[in-house]
Amino acid sequence: MKRFLTNTLCTALLVTLSASSVFAGAWTREKGKLYDKLGFNFYYADKNFDPDGGKSDFPNGGTFRDYNLNNYIEYGLTNNLTLINSMVYKRIDKNETTVDMTTWGVGDIDVAARYKLAEGNWGILSVQALLKIPSAYDKNDRLPLGNGQFDYEGKLLYGKSLYPHIPGYVNLELGYRFRDGDPSDEFRYLVEFGVDVTKSFYGRLKLDGIYSIDNGNKYAYDGNPTTTNNFDLGKLEVTAGYKFTPAWGVELTFTPPLYGQNTAAGFNYALGIFYQTP
């Protein structure tokens, strides 16, 4: 897996053609500035990553679908401190030969704060704290919307503008997520590259990874193949965006799974519309 990860990172940096003029990651919003993105996501899986990293079909030829609306907000409380909120309303379906299950409602709620530590010609360094709140759904549903526990995450973020040599940026993130209860704690990492193609068109490429600490109940499973314990997962997120005005824009995102263990190997398709204070 480590060799595959290294090769994937190198390949991603070599083949990327586009990424984002809307700085994210380590950057904070200016005081009073708002970014709000409403996204529709469709996730589909009919295979699992096995404990050895291979793929196999779901039992009984089953499938799993997740249709959701997500609202993501960033607000600059000060020039150095950005407040973040993410909420999702979803419907999930699990279909097998012998049983069909459906659940809908509000999923996990994230609240976070990002603080800029320092900035210079070398780039920008920030820290972020996040709390995941599972109170909006019943974790005892036959097919729960999430794994029903609170998460506490700390993250270090580094960003670097590539202007004037390249109209883009790079962003690196490293974090640790403490999870309350059986699910395993997680080490999280992200590599991001963005570039403007024209004044209005941009693109973004991310390698988004989760590495399990394997300190959870190895046999816990709630029926949702995306909320298993002790899982690893690496995803490649490819985004193309267009800004209609300095304030309004739209994004299309495709997210395939690259590697993993003990979790669903599904694909995500997303359409998002965003507004940002000019």
Pair 167, 196: CB distance under 8 Å: yes
The CB density around residue 257, as the number of other CB atoms within 10 Å, is 19
Averaging pLDDT over each range in 137-141, 180-184, 257-261, which range is the top one? 257-261
Query: Alpha-carbon distance 234 to 58, whole Å?
Result: 19
pLDDT value at position 6? 39
Banded pLDDT at 200 (limits 50, 70, 90): very high
Instruction: Choose between 12 and 226: higher pLDDT.
Output: 226
Q: Which amino acid is at 189?
A: Y
pLDDT digits (tens, 9 = 90+) for 51-82: 999 999 987 789 999 999 999 999 999 999 99
pLDDT of the residue at 11: 38
164 or 20: whose pLDDT is higher? 164
Kindly report the number of other CB atoms within 10 A of residue 193's CB atom.
21
Q: How much is the pLDDT for 262?
A: 92
pLDDT at 59: 78
Element (H, E) at 5: helix 2-15
Instruction: Tell me which residue has tokens 């000019």.
Output: 278
Overall pTM surpassing 0.75 (yes/no): yes
**Average pLDDT score over residue span 248-271:** 97
Output 37 or 216, whichever has higher pLDDT. Answer: 37
- CA-based nearest residue to 260, from 114, 70, 47: 47
Picking from 56, 35, 90, the residue whose alpha carbon sits closest to that of residue 248 is: 35
More confident residue, 61 or 271: 271
